[in-house]
């Protein structure tokens, strides 16, 4: 079969599209005829080898994909040939103390399809049954592929970790990205007053279209100053920051006393300076979050499938142009998700 692959870590020139062996289908696996995949920033980090990754090479990346079931392993009970499915990439052991409590993202051996083990940006993919969700008829492949990772991540951040309530105020940084555009919609759905940052008039307009009450151009203004001005120097109740070093200090400055900062990533670096005095004096909470439980995945995807949440697609490319898709993410081009499709289906 044909698949996206790389033989070593580096820049986009390490990415290739070519022949790899067909996947082996284990007893708990489902063989999926992949119709579409989607890019996330973790694909960029995996390609670069950050943080330190010890991957078997060549590595097939990709944590988001959707397609049709071709074959099922002997122990599979939830899916059958012809079913429409999408990948939910977080893999848990199911047996540690956290899994027994139902909080699977805290699993002591938690790992991610495409990041720590072979991914799904290929013509065929063998995926554990527990890592698939059903896709209703009428949902297009691009939406099905692009929704799971970012919407489950944003859902857990805002609903489970930050516990956003109606009437609270939420600032979403990087609203044009995958997690950002999901977080804007989820915060709006929760009844919050939503502030969003982006870097162009077009992106700001998109943010407003999907639920932002206030859109701030972070390239022309200091967003922390803008937040203080908008809120009468109070600040917001919650900041969603997946940017890291470049925004961390201003994110903390943007919080009201007793506010919560929730983070799932650090696309500009993971070692920001923190003014500890601000933390204890303003009694701030910093909350880490990643992926979601199966129940959280089901809850948010139901709202994607029924059209409550809009999965914005910035471009659809053949898998042979995945290097270009990586460049779009790195250069912050466009609004929403980048989708790739097998060249044979493009």
Q: What is the pLDDT of residue 52?
A: 65
What integer pLDDT is reported at residue 75 of this predicted model? Answer: 97
Report the 10 Å Cβ neighbour count for 102: 10
Q: Which CATH superfamily is domain 2-147+311-341 in?
A: Medium-chain alcohol dehydrogenases, catalytic domain (3.90.180.10)
Domain locations along the chain: 2-147+311-341, 151-288
- Please check whether residue 175 is in contact with residue 184, taking contact to mean a CB–CB distance below 8 angstroms: yes
Report which DSSP code applies to 160: I
Low-confidence ranges of the chain (pLDDT < 50): none
pLDDT tens digits for 73-87? 999 999 999 999 999
Q: What is the pLDDT of residue 345?
A: 85
Please give the pLDDT value at position 114.
94
Q: Which residues contact 250 (CB under 8 A, 6 or more apart)?
A: 222, 223, 224
CATH topology classification for 151-288: Rossmann fold (3.40.50)
Q: Quick one: pLDDT at residue 53? A: 72
Place of tokens 């995926």: 127
User: What's CA 257's distance to the chain center, in Å?
Assistant: 29
238-253 burial, b if ≥16 CB within 10 A, otherwise e? bbbbbbbebbbebbbb
pLDDT given at position 226 = 96
Q: What is the pTM of this model?
A: 0.95
Is there a common fold for 2-147+311-341 and 151-288?
Answer: no
| H helix intervals, the chain | 41-48, 97-100, 141-146, 148-155, 178-189, 201-209, 223-230, 248-253, 276-281, 294-305, 322-330
Burial of residue 271 (CB within 10 Å: 0-12, 13-18, 19+) is exposed
């Amino acid at each position: 079969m044909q698949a996206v692959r790389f033989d070593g870590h580096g820049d986009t020139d390490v990415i290739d599209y070519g022949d790899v062996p067909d996947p082996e289908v284990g007893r708990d696996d489902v063989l999926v005829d992949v119709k579409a995949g989607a890019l996330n920033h973790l694909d960029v980090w995996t390609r670069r080898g950050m943080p330190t990754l010890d991957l078997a090479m060549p590595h097939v990346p990709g944590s988001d994909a959707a397609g049709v079931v071709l074959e099922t392993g002997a122990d599979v009970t939830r899916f059958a040939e012809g079913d429409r499915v999408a990948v939910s990439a977080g893999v848990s052991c199911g047996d540690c103390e956290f899994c027994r409590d139902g909080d699977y993202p805290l699993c002591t051996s938690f790992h991610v399809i495409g990041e720590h083990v072979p991914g799904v940006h290929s013509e065929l993919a063998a995926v554990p049954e527990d890592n698939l969700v059903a896709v209703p008829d009428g949902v297009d492949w691009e939406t099905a592929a692009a929704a799971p990772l970012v919407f489950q991540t944003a859902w857990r951040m805002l609903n489970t970790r930050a516990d956003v309530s109606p009437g609270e105020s939420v600032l979403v940084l990087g609203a044009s990205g995958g997690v950002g555009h999901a977080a804007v919609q989820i915060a709006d759905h929760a009844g919050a007053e939503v502030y969003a940052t982006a870097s162009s008039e077009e992106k700001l307009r998109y943010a407003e279209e999907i639920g932002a009450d206030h859109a701030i151009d972070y390239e022309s203004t200091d967003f922390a100053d803008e937040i203080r001005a908008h809120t009468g120097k109070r600040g917001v109740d919650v900041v969603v920051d997946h940017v890291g070093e470049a925004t961390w200090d201003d994110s903390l400055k943007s919080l009201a006393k007793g506010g919560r900062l929730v983070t799932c990533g650090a696309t500009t670096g993971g070692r920001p300076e923190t003014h500890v005095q601000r933390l204890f004096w303003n009694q701030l909470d910093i909350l880490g979050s990643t992926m979601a439980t199966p129940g959280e995945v089901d809850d948010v995807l139901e709202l994607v499938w029924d059209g409550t949440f809009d999965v914005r697609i910035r471009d659809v490319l053949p898998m042979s142009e995945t290097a270009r898709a990586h460049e779009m993410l790195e250069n912050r081009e466009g609004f929403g998700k980048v989708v790739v499709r097998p060249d044979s289906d493009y």
